[in-house]
Chain A
């Protein structure tokens, strides 16, 4: 290989499919490092604090697509205090200085300001795609800046962000010359949009393939839009409540009928049951369906729709579907790969119409199932065993029994054996979330069998440090471990410190780790940031009032080359 010109080496590298492969070849020798870094087009930063932004952009000056992730996953559930961090500013500023060719930016769980979006919009003349997931800190003014300055914009995808709505004008900032849109998703914008501006934008976007509207868009506007986009592949509807005339729905049905490419449907905000029959003609061609924002659709509405969706691969529903409804899914949707069943009742130990029976039915009918998120009222070991037998192809398995520490509903036993069966039979399992009554035994099974596991989420589980140690010692590919309300302490924290260098991060909240234990970890492992968050405001109080043996509320440990971060708020102490 050393006799090949660099262009040839670069060309060979272009066939490497993953970031980790490219990372590996860059370690071979200095020449390869240089060739690789200058030809790298896509950079993925899983933890924004693992590396200084300047260092990342200087190493890869020709990057076209940058992905950065900020807050830990449990931030989604309000476990990370506000103002913790994850600021997009330093990344956008660094890229603006060093990577003028940037075309795509993806950010997840980060704090993005309008100023950041303005800078982004003005700094990259070839910018094409902005994807923001679960971010906050910006308003529709920032979106207006993106719309007006990114002349080549193809994709604006806003998923589940907390956006300050400053009015409908932002959509009008797309200039008449902007005709390149392929994907537009503004479902998370809370307020009205200007329907005329929206219709005109769609009319001049012949390449539009994915469009996700927000709640405010009326049936009539949706109909006018769809008349212009017969090639649409993915649609998120607007408002489908029953305040509209039958005539409006009939017109909608006739334009939907022309959308032969439409494969994926979502939205259905508070959809009225009377709108459901108008969707029937589309059902046979759908591969993706998200009905999880329609609590007004009951079991019978849902099953009438789903039973027609014979090609369905991805289904998101509310538990209103009930076990009976899941049986219909099992008999109708033989190609199902991903299922998410969300709760309609968020109270602890609230009522859910979905139990282990629904899951068993799904597993026996949908043998290709590989990704599951299932909120339910109860579970049994027997059911989990059957599910594991039926569907050995699980890659992601997330089960949430609504009541913490609930045992097997039939036997009253812990659910160790059931989850044990899952990890034993699903050899490709990469992500696992558990719930219900669980002892150290389940962790023994995980450590022994879950050899491909990369992410594990634990809540209200385990008996002793041994539990966590099984996982730390056994799961060779573990990258992210997040634990809440479980009795793991300093022994577990310090039992295998070298492991943290091979992982992205560890989160522990409401466990038994102490201040002293964290200090020991920090002193043994200088390449880790050990962040402690306690309820008390002000780090000085933490040292004074709490002795070394006081428990730490929240602990976040991650490997980093950047040292302690300088943007931490005063409730975060970095050891």
Chain B
């Protein structure tokens, strides 16, 4: 197929080198404005890792740490899917893991196209539509996933929705644009 030579050319050239750049049209779940690097825009304010821990700090006794069960299940809707799913936000250490899990979860809705040795991308073979992750916060507003520190997001998120990029207004600039 013609993807393979195109793939190898994009690997060695920069992302915006040609209008038919494969990566631009590929369907992925990705934070707006982020490239392959997993640093969120707030990296300078975030702790070294979302699960950074110092022994015995904060000074909360064990029974209290164990008593609060760390699970937060939220509904996930995908535009066009016949039913919703639920994910436990506490099960993930950050945005990358969450998005990877969402991709896994909806592989039956999307076709998984295996490209190259390792990479898989979610493609809607019918429409070729790109999806953007959004969430509803405690005020009932729909927000773009990825702007705030992970823990703040987990606290605020009430439900998730993968919206078609055509539905989303005021999208952050993407690499392709």
B54: Cβ under 8 A from any A Cβ:
yes
Interface presence of B20 (CB below 8 A): no
- Chain A, 201-219, CB within 8 A of any chain B CB: none
Q: Are the C-beta atoms of B68 and A293 separated by less than 8 Å?
A: yes
- With beta carbons under 8 angstroms apart, the residue of B47, B50, B56, B149 that contacts A484 is B56
Give the complex CA separation of A353 and B152 in angstroms: 9
- State A292–B61 Cα separation when bound (angstroms): 13
Contact pattern, B 34-71, Cβ under 8 Å of A = 1, otherwise 0 = 00000000000001001111111111111111011100
6 nearest CB pairs, A to B: A77-B56, A349-B47, A76-B61, A351-B151, A160-B63, A351-B152
B138 interface residue per 8 A CB criterion:
yes
Question: Is A76 within 8 A of B62, CB to CB?
Answer: yes
Determine if B68 and A78 form an interchain contact, defined as CB atoms under 8 angstroms apart.
Answer: no
A279-299: contact bitstring with B at CB < 8 Å (1 yes, 0 no)?
A: 000000000000011010010
CB 8 Å contact bits of A404-427 with B (1 = contact, 0 = none): 100000000000000000000000
Chosen A-B contacts, 13 in total, with CB atoms closer than 8 Å, are A160-B64, A161-B63, A295-B68, A343-B60, A344-B155, A347-B51, A347-B151, A348-B47, A348-B58, A351-B155, A375-B60, A404-B54, A484-B56
In the complex formed, the residue of A with least CB distance to B49 is A347
**A162 and B64 alpha carbons, distance in the complex (Å):** 11
In Å, the complex CA distance between A395 and B57 comes to 24
Residue of B nearest to A344 (CB): B68
State which residues 351-371 of A face B: CB under 8 Å.
351, 353
Task: Give the distance to chain B from A341, nearest Cβ to Cβ, in Å.
Answer: 12
Chain B residues in the interface with A (C-beta under 8 A): 47, 50-65, 67-69, 138, 149, 151-152, 155
Point out the residues of chain A lying under 8 angstroms from B52, CB to CB. 347-349
Closest-by-CB residue of B relative to A398 is: B59
**Cross-chain contact of A348 among B57, B64, B149 (Cβ < 8 A):** B57
**Nearest chain-B residue to A509 (Cβ)?**
B56
B69 near A270: Cβ-Cβ < 8 Å: yes
Question: Is A188 interfacial (CB 8 A cutoff)?
Answer: yes
Query: Residue A449 at the B interface, CB < 8 A?
Result: no
- Report the separation of the CA atoms of residues A484 and B59 in the bound assembly, to the nearest whole angstrom: 11
CB-defined contacts of A433 to chain B, threshold 8 Å: 59
Closest Cβ–Cβ distance, residue A322 to chain B (whole Å) = 10
List chain A residues, Cβ under 8 A from B58. Answer: 343, 346, 348, 375, 400, 402
A295-B68, A351-B151 given; name 7 further pairs at CB < 8 Å: A77-B56, A78-B62, A342-B60, A343-B60, A347-B51, A459-B59, A484-B56
Q: Which residue, B56, B62, B69, B151, has most C-beta atoms of chain A within 10 A?
A: B56
A74 adjacent to B53 (CB under 8 Å) = no
Provide the residues of chain A in CB contact with B62, threshold 8 Å: 76, 78, 162
**How far does the alpha carbon of A161 sit from the alpha carbon of B67 in the complex, in Å?**
12
Contact of B67 among A293, A353, A400 (CB under 8 A): A293
Verify if A79 is at the interface (C-beta below 8 Å from B).
yes
Do residues B59 and A77 form an inter-chain contact, with CB atoms below 8 A?
A: yes
Are A76 and B59 in contact, with the CB atoms below 8 A? yes
Whole-angstrom distance between the Cβ of B150 and the nearest chain A Cβ: 9
Contacts of B63 in A (CB 8 A): 134, 160-162, 188
Smallest Cβ distance from A459 to chain B, in angstroms? 7
Give min CB distance, B143 to chain A, whole Å.
16
In the complex, which residues 482-516 of chain A have their Cβ closer than 8 Å to any Cβ of chain B? 484
B151 contacts which chain A residues (CB < 8 A)?
A: 345, 347, 350-351
Chain B nearest CB: distance from A380 CB in Å? 18
Q: How far is the CB of B66 from chain A (nearest CB, A)?
A: 9
Q: Are A78 and B67 in contact (CB under 8 A)?
A: no
Per the bound structure, the CA–CA distance linking A130 and B174 in Å amounts to 65
Are B67 and A77 within 8 A (Cβ)? Answer: no
Residue of B47, B50, B149 contacting most chain A CB atoms (<10 Å): B47
Cβ-defined partner of A404 (8 Å) among B57, B60, B68: B57
Query: Which chain A residues numbered 243 to 292 have a C-beta less than 8 Å away from chain B?
Result: 269-270, 292
- Chain A positions within 8 Å of B53 at CB level: 346-348
- Nearest Cβ distance between residue B90 and chain A, in whole angstroms? 10
Q: Which residue of A lies closest to B59 (CB)?
A: A77
Q: Chain B nearest CB: distance from A512 CB in Å?
A: 18
Name the distance in Å between A293's Cβ and chain B's nearest Cβ: 6
Q: Nearest chain-A residue to B72 (Cβ)?
A: A295
* A160 partner residues in chain B, CB cutoff 8 A: 61, 63-64
With both chains docked as a complex, state the minimum distance between the C-beta of B139 and any C-beta of chain A, in angstroms: 11
